[in-house]
Amino acid sequence: MENQFSWTQQWYPLSPISYLDPAEPTPVNLLGKKLVIWRDNNQNWVVMDDACPHKLALLSLGKINADGNLICRHHGWCFNNEGKCTEIPMLVGNQGEETACKSLLSQVTTYPTKVAQNLLWVWTDHSVTPFADCTAQQPATIAETELDIDAIDWYMTGICFEAPVGYTVSLESSLDPSHAQFLHEGIGSFSPEKTVPIQQFENIGETTSQGGFTLKHSGYNRKDSCLS
Ligand code: FES
């Protein structure tokens, strides 16, 4: 169907850049898919499947070598920022290594990435042309006229704890700030005693072609108004 929503042909904010250590690979799970984030020698962030094509070891357990390639911890196969196998230590210097490295079977699927508003975004499609397709869309960033982006401390709950709920429940909850003082009592500054009735709650601006929207609401915790 022509206008059917594609879950994979989208830019997803994968992680705040401040959460990432450029010297170490970072595992992350997005929409049930295990991915690894790492940075090459050109300071480009790379996102690829977190599975070595040799024996499926987690590449996030590996390390980044002096050439800026990712080494699998299990048998040392090496992968560049395009997911191409560049070295197989047990075959170094012979025809077997060249043949194995050229094989599609030794490659790791990589995904387009982009940095915007201090977040790392990923395009999770693994069709034939994701690097061309992703240029037709831009990440759904926040209008910079609304906020001082550099002043934002991004907070990613999934890194701090596992919430055993479906993403639709979680998303719906984020549009329901009136729960915070009660459900999160004792976490941070949340407390029923600090409850302030929400006076303003409205959809502002345009709804994007992908259904994105911006809600503005007044404070509920003796704070100023904020955006969701
Ligand atoms: S499983 Fe990765 S090199 Fe063997």
Q: What is the pLDDT of residue 154?
A: 81
Nearest atom (ligand 1) to Cα of 73: 2
Low-confidence ranges of the chain (pLDDT < 50): 159, 224-228
Task: Count other Cβ atoms within 10 Å, centred on residue 134.
Answer: 22
> Which residue, by CA, sits nearest to atom 3 of ligand 1?
75
Q: What is the pLDDT of residue 60?
A: 98
Pairwise CA distance, residues 5 & 10, whole Å: 9
pLDDT tens readout for residues 102-127:
999 999 999 999 999 999 999 999 88
Task: Determine the topology of domain 11-133 in CATH.
Answer: Rieske Iron-sulfur Protein (2.102.10)
Pocket of ligand 1 (CB under 6 A): 52, 54-55, 57, 72, 74-77
Q: What is the CA radius of gyration of the chain?
A: 21
Residue 16's DSSP bridge partners are 119
48-51 contacts, C-beta under 8 A, 24 or more apart: 48/79, 48/83, 48/108, 48/109, 48/110, 48/111, 49/108, 49/109, 49/110, 51/108
pLDDT tens readout for residues 178-187:
888 898 888 8
- Domain ranges in the chain are 11-133, 163-227
Our mutation pick for probing the ligand 1 site, out of 48, 52, 105, 107, counting the most ligand atoms within 8 A of Cβ, is 52
Pairwise CA distance, residues 18 & 155, whole Å: 10
Please give the distance, rounded to the nearest whole angstrom, from the Cα atom of residue 73 to the centre of ligand 1.
7
